[in-house]
Amino acid sequence: MKSVIGVLAVQGDVREHARSLESLGATTRLVRRPEELDGLDGIVLPGGESTTMDKLLRAFELRDPLREKLRAGLPAYGSCAGMILLADRVLDATADQETLGGLDVTVRRNAFGRQVDSFEEDLSMPEVLGESSEPVRAVFIRAPWVESVGPDVHVLGTVTTGPAAGRIVVVRQGNLFATSFHPEVTGDHRIHEYFLRMTRR
Ligand code: GLN
Which residues line the annotated binding site for L-glutamine?
48-50, 109, 141-142
List 16, 17, 121, 182, catalytic entry = 182
49 lines ligand 1 (CB under 6 A): yes
Model pLDDT, residue 97: 96
**H or E segment at 18?**
helix 14-23
80 lines ligand 1 (CB under 6 A): yes
Burial 27-56 (b: 16+ CB within 10 A, else e): ebbebeebebbeebbbbbbbbbbbbebbbb
Which residues line the annotated binding site?
48-50, 109, 141-142
- Residue whose Cα lies nearest atom 5 of ligand 1: it is 81
Of 163, 157, 164, 160, the C-alpha closest to 190 is 157
Question: Known catalytic residue: 147?
Answer: no
Question: Known catalytic residue: 189?
Answer: no
Please list the residues that pair with 119 across neighbouring strands.
Answer: 140
Q: What is the rounded distance in angstroms from the CA atom of residue 49 to the CA atom of residue 168?
A: 20
What Å distances lie between residue 146 and 40, 53, 80, 110, 174, CA to CA?
27, 19, 11, 11, 17
Model pLDDT, residue 1: 67
**Distance (Å) from CA 78 to ligand 1 centroid:** 11
Cβ atoms of 139 and 78 closer than 8 Å: no
Question: Known catalytic residue: 182?
Answer: yes
| Residue ranges in the chain whose pLDDT is less than 50 | none
Domain that holds residue 97: 4-200
Model pLDDT, residue 147: 97
Model pLDDT, residue 119: 85
Helix (H, G, I), strand (E, B) or coil at 104: strand
List 16, 121, 184, 193, catalytic entry = 184
Model pLDDT, residue 36: 98
What pLDDT, in 10s, does the model give residues 68-121? Answer: 999 999 999 999 999 999 999 999 999 999 999 999 999 999 998 765 678 899
> For position 150, which CATH number holds?
3.40.50.880
Number of domains the chain is built from: 1
Supply φ then ψ for residue 169, to 5 degrees. Answer: -130, -5
